[in-house]
Structure 1
Amino acid sequence: MTFQQACYALLTLLRKEVGRCFRIWPQTVAAPVVTTTLYFFIFGKVIGSHIADQHGFPYIQYIVPGLILMATLINAYVNTSSSFFGAKFAGSIEELLVSPMPATLIVFGYAMGGVFRGALVGCMVALVAICVTHVHFVHPVLVVYSMLVTAFVFALVGIINGVFARKFDDVSWVPNFIISPLTYFAGVFYSVQMLPPFWQAASHLDPIYYLVSAFRFSMLGVKDATTSYALAVSTVLAIGAFILTTQLLIRSKRMRS
């Protein structure tokens, strides 16, 4: 496959994923934005008014980075897991697997579709946050990088789940029983420094903790983990997840059963 053909193939796959996102926009975009907006009002305005400042910020501003990132990663995951498994369930994924399109390009195309949806929802939630909380971005470049890396990681996780899933229920249990608990345990609604020593150490084993810490530093300039370490972990997660996903697509028997 020539470079030009690879570009056409990638753009075609990406256009399909983006078109799917906009075709069902009330479900893919509007619903998560409304849900996260409710978090702002309930946890920020109602409950947050009775909670002391966190690291010098009002509670509603402190939780903004975590809520934006939570919306980003969940939607990146849901987009790829549902789209990839849907193609696998319908049998259309076989057309890609037998085409000259390499596995790396297939994975990257699906992942970029997830990144698009995750980043789109994250940006819309950020706009709501700016209007509601008047929060400012301290490091805008790091904000963009952290959001895109997080979306990329969880878009790949969605593809991995799509590879192993045998029925639609297999797609939904991962966010309910793995992603959501890890997200809440990562310090979205609180500083991990508030936890007892044992639970602080346990939080350091949570990969989402480093994603949240890097994004919070990017927005507010405060952190739980060392910023350089958190950014390094985020980058390694993205590279490792991409390699793993590509190898699974090539070697997994689930793709040929």
Structure 2
Amino acid sequence: MSNLKPNSSEPINSLESTNSLEPINSLEPINSPEPIKNITLMNSLNMVALRTMWRKECLRFLRIWIQTLLPPAITMSLYFVIFGNLIGSRIGNMGGFSYMEFIVPGLIMMAVITNAYSNVSSSFYSAKYQRNIEELLVAPVSNWIIIAGFVGGGVARGMLVGIIVTIVSLFFVDIQIHNLLIIFVTLLLTTILFSTAGLINGIFANSFDDVSIVPTFILTPLTYLGGVFYSLSLLPEFWQWVSKINPIVYMVSGFRFGFLGESDINFYVSLGILIGFNVVLLGWAYSLINRGVGIRS
């Protein structure tokens, strides 16, 4: 007890070793490169996932090209023969152009819409049915990448079908091109829009029959009433107004303007409608996948 010196001014060595502070230089700097490395790694993983998914989607429809690429070419050839040559010769000019020239952009757009939609809706539902989608959900991949992978496959198929139908149309009529950039932008936005719509259909579908309901009972009627075979100026004023509720009218009109330089609706209005629908549907698709609607049990 006599050895204890509570009032001693000397430091206690045992406490000095345990409570000593590390030098400031030994602390990890605030601007550590680790977060940057993690972000770079995640971006790299996302790009690998996107390339893999897009390649898989493209190979899927290229492998069965007899079912995916050949039918649109044959179907559109029949349209060109029946509506263009047989009926078109009796109709005469439409908006200052031959009837065949008038319907070519609409027929191309019709094939593009149908194929972009059906590619994604069937592919996504097949992934759900085979439970492959669960592997994507547990992978360290952004939901936007999942959407982009499926939608990218639909865009590729829609674009390729559009090129094929355009080549087929050259056997029937000389195609005019007013503005190639307008054609490309309208085609790209349309394929993205209907690929996303097909994705949403695949999310909600509970059977393969559900996948075909929307194209049969909604998409096909809207396409035929979308100004593919006629000009809106031929309709009474009331029905012109009703037709403008149909979003496909704006796609066909904008696409036709790129070929002929003439359309029923101002191109910038069509462009704004297309962009607006794309934003809404992409946001909806992201929300559905993020919440696991129709995917997670």
Report the counterpart of residue 217 of structure 1 in structure 2: 257
1:156 aligns with 2:189: no
User: 8 Å contact 2:73–2:164 — kept in the other structure?
Assistant: yes
Is residue 93 of structure 2 the alignment partner of residue 40 of structure 1? no
Offset, 1:132: 1.4
Give the TM-score of the pair, scaled to structure 2: 0.85
Matched letter for residue 121 of structure 2 = S
SS at match of 1:91: coil
> Map of 1:89-108 to 2, 5 A cutoff?
89-108=129-148
State how far apart, in whole Å, the 2-side matches of 1:144 and 1:31 are: 23
Question: Which sections of structure 2, spanning at least 5 residues, go unmatched?
Answer: 1-40
Q: Give 2:206's aligned residue.
A: 166
Q: Conserved in 2, the CA contact under 8 Å of 1:130 and 1:136?
A: no
Indicate yes or no: 2:234 matched with 1:194.
yes
Q: Which range moved further: 25-34 or 126-135?
A: 126-135
Q: What is the number of equivalent residue pairs in this alignment?
A: 257
2:287 paired residue among 242, 247, 250: 247
Counterparts of 2:160 and 2:292, CA distance in 1: 31
Residue 75 (str. 1) matches residue 115 (str. 2): yes
- Contact kept, 8 Å, 2:193 with 2:277, in 1: the verdict is yes
**Is contact 2:136-2:146 (8 Å) kept?**
yes
Is 2:53 the counterpart of 1:13?
A: yes
Q: Confirm or deny that 1:28 pairs with 2:76.
A: no
Return the alpha-carbon distance in structure 2 between the equivalents of residues 133 and 26 of structure 1. 25
Counterpart of 1:116 in structure 2 is 156
Task: Structure 1: give runs of 5+ residues left out of the alignment.
Answer: none
CA contact (8 A) 1:80 1:159 kept: yes
CA distance in 1, matches of 2:254, 2:296: 39
CA shift for structure 1 position 243: 1.1
Superposed CA RMSD in Å reads 1.0
Per-residue deviation, 1:252: 4.2
Letter in 1 for 2:77: T
The aligned amino acid for 1:54 is M
Take 2:246 and 2:51, find their aligned partners in 1: how far apart are those partners? 34
Give deviations 1:60-103, integer Å, cap 9, x for gaps: 11000100001001000010000000000111111001111111
SS in 2 for 1:222: coil
Q: Per-residue displacement from partner, 1:148-195 (whole Å, max 9, x unpaired)? A: 110110000000000000000000010111111111111000001111
Asked whether the equivalents of residues 80 and 114 of structure 1 are also in contact (C-alpha less than 8 Å), the reply is: yes
Distance 2:177 2:281 in 1: 28
Q: What is the TM-score normalised by the length of structure 1? A: 0.98
Partner of 2:94, secondary structure, is coil
Contact 2:203 2:293 in 1 (8 A): no
Question: Partner of 2:93: helix, strand, or coil?
Answer: coil
